[in-house]
């Protein structure tokens, strides 16, 4: 079997389909689209039966092998085994075993949390980002190349990227963050890293200023080429495919046999996490429904109810107590719409011409919209008040503390529960990351994993700068060398 990748905006008449390693280091396709496999591999019932008993690492190898055919099997196995270990993923909670990577914690029969946040930065992004770090190092070494990852973060993504790339050969990370805008915990998490290849830059401005600098540098094509600037943002295909694995793992934990179906509920922002669930379902994993939860920034909830996709302006985007879901547009959404419109790149080009020029589109009158139910999506939203109520009720009723994002997922999941089918809510972060809102909801501090005690007191390494594209470029040049 060969596996090739195409862009959502191109048909293979214009550019040849690519291999996995060819799209690994890049972001968008040259035509502005997102990469997807030419077709989704279908999993047979016999394979599902075999996969049921596998450890996380073995399951990851089985799933990823369906999507990657240009890394020798032994090498891929080595990379996966090195990534998915108890040392890396059982940071958050005491007493876990290797086999417990992403266990399901049952709140009551039929309602469980898939624990995805026991990795080094206490959020689910570690599940994929750690693999990305090892894949990058491997592919760069093979080619004798280097990459300088440039990014901007308001918290979670930057730390997940730094913990994944620290100490990796051939990789440097330049991460911009808004000076004095992140929580003390988040600052400590990033700035206390002492690795030579990690560069933290605090910009005297807001997150958007940092993001604009990254865009400006990336749009300087000569600079980008000369200094080998790359990114690890959420549209990266390898991140999406690595997330497919835990839907399989969660399904096996939640069921006795492969004849059963489950529902998954997913707190969503850029649509990367739930897009992986969609792909698992397209592969034939018996998922009945994908329950998508948004916070007050409900651009996706609106789409699933009306067929209208209307990205918001920055001014319309609210800063909420589930900040990692505060998005104005959902960058991975194009992948799902590609499937919904029958994989016609011409339709995607037409729709995203509107989006990219600041507009919106309405699919409700298109014939393909009638196909939406067959994809299993349902959606709902959750507000600050819902979040506080869910956090306190979950603590009272089950003695379990959930973070603000997971609370959004849980709130919508409970609305969508049906008898005789389990609902698995994806836990996207631990409460320790969002202390302030937990105190507001419960009047007490969340527990902190032992390895994070006193992290605020560690020495920090950060360069503070004005909002200046030139200053950031100079800094990169100085530390990369020409
Ligand atoms: C990134 C993130 C999300 C949103 O995930 P998407 O893949 O962007 O939909 C939700 N919760 C937390 C804690 C996150 O870090």
Phi-psi region of 35 (alpha: psi -120 to 50; beta: other; left: phi over 0): beta
Tokens 């019932």 belong to residue: 45
- pLDDT score, position 256: 95
Q: Is residue 429 part of a domain?
A: yes
Q: Are 172 and 480 in contact (CB under 8 A)?
A: yes
Q: Which atom of ligand 1 is nearest to the CA of 268?
A: 9
Q: Which atom of ligand 1 is nearest to the CA of 117?
A: 13
Total number of domains in the chain = 1
- pLDDT score, position 98: 47
Q: Is residue 391 part of a domain?
A: yes
Q: Is residue 425 part of a domain?
A: yes
Q: Which atom of ligand 1 is nearest to the CA of 267?
A: 10
Distance CA(320)–CA(324), nearest Å, equals 9
pTM above 0.75, yes or no: yes
Residue length of the chain = 482
| CATH classification of the domain holding 341 | 3.40.50.1100
In 3-state terms the chain splits into helix, strand, coil percentages (rounded to 5) of 45, 15, 40
DSSP letter assigned to residue 456: G
- pLDDT score, position 94: 53
Active site residues: 125
Q: Is residue 111 part of a domain?
A: yes
Q: Is residue 142 part of a domain?
A: no
- pLDDT score, position 481: 73
Residue 157 alpha carbon to ligand 1 centre in Å: 9
Q: Is residue 374 part of a domain?
A: yes
Distance CA(157)–CA(126), nearest Å, equals 9
Q: Is residue 28 part of a domain?
A: no
Joined together, the tokens standing for residue 228 give: 């080998």
Domain range spanning residue 280? 99-121+240-442
- The residue to mutate among 268, 290, 446, having the most atoms of ligand 1 within 8 angstroms of its beta carbon, is 268
Walking along the chain (482 residues) 10 residues at a time, the average pLDDT comes out as 89 75 86 93 97 96 97 98 92 56 95 95 95 96 95 87 96 94 87 96 89 89 91 91 98 96 97 97 98 97 97 88 89 96 96 94 94 96 98 98 97 97 97 93 92 92 96 96 65
- pLDDT score, position 99: 54
Q: Is residue 33 part of a domain?
A: no
Q: Are 419 and 394 in contact (CB under 8 A)?
A: no
Residue 212 alpha carbon to ligand 1 centre in Å: 21
Residue 243 alpha carbon to ligand 1 centre in Å: 12
Residue 311 alpha carbon to ligand 1 centre in Å: 17
Residue nearest to atom 14 of ligand 1 (CA): 324
């Amino acid at each position: 079997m060969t596996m090739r990748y195409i862009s959502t905006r191109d048909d293979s008449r214009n550019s040849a389909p690519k291999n996995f390693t060819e799209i690994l280091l890049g972001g968008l396709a040259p035509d502005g689209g997102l990469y997807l496999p030419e077709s989704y591999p279908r999993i047979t019932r016999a394979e599902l039966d075999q996969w049921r008993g596998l450890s996380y690492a073995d399951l990851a190898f089985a799933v990823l092998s369906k999507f990657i055919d240009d890394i020798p099997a032994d090498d891929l196995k080595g990379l996966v085994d090195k990534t998915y270990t108890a040392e890396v993923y059982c940071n958050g909670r005491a007493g876990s075993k290797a086999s417990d990577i992403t266990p399901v914690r049952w709140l009551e029969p039929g309602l469980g949390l898939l624990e995805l946040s026991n990795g080094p930065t206490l959020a689910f992004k570690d599940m994929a980002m750690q693999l990305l770090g090892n894949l990058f190092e491997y592919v760069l070494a093979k080619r004798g190349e280097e990459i300088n990852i440039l990014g901007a973060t308001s918290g979670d993504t930057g730390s997940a990227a730094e913990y994944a790339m620290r100490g990796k050969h051939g990789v440097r990370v330049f991460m911009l963050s808004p000076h004095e805008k992140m929580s003390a915990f988040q600052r400590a998490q990033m700035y206390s890293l002492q690795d030579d290849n990690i560069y933290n830059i605090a910009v005297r401005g807001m997150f958007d200023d940092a993001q604009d600098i990254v865009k400006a540098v990336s749009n300087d094509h000569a600079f980008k080429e000369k200094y080998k600037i790359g990114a690890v943002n959420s549209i990266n295909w390898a991140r999406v495919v690595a997330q497919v694995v835990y839907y399989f793992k969660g399904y096996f934990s939640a069921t006795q046999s492969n004849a059963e179906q489950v529902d998954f509920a997913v707190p969503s922002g850029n649509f990367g996490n739930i897009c992986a669930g969609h792909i698992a379902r397209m592969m034939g994993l018996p998922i009945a429904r994908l329950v998508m939860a948004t916070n007050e920034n409900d651009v996706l909830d609106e789409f699933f109810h009306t067929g209208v996709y209307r990205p918001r302006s920055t001014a319309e985007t609210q800063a909420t107590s589930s900040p990692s879901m505060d998005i104005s547009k959902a960058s991975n959404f194009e992948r799902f719409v590609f499937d919904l419109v029958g994989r016609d790149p011409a339709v995607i080009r037409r729709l995203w011409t509107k989006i990219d020029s600041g507009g919106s589109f309405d699919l409700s009158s298109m014939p393909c919209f009638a196909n939406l139910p067959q994809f299993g999506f349902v959606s709902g939203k959750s507000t600050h008040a819902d979040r506080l109520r869910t956090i306190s009720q979950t603590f009272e009723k089950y003695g379990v503390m959930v973070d603000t994002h997971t609370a959004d997922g849980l709130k919508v999941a409970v609305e969508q529960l049906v008898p005789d089918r389990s609902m698995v809510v994806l836990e996207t972060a631990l409460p320790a990351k969002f202390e302030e809102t937990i105190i507001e909801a419960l009047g007490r501090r969340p527990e902190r994993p032992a390895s994070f005690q006193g992290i605020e007191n560690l020495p920090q390494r950060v360069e503070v700068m004005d909002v200046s594209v030139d200053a950031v470029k100079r800094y990169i040049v100085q530390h990369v060398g020409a």
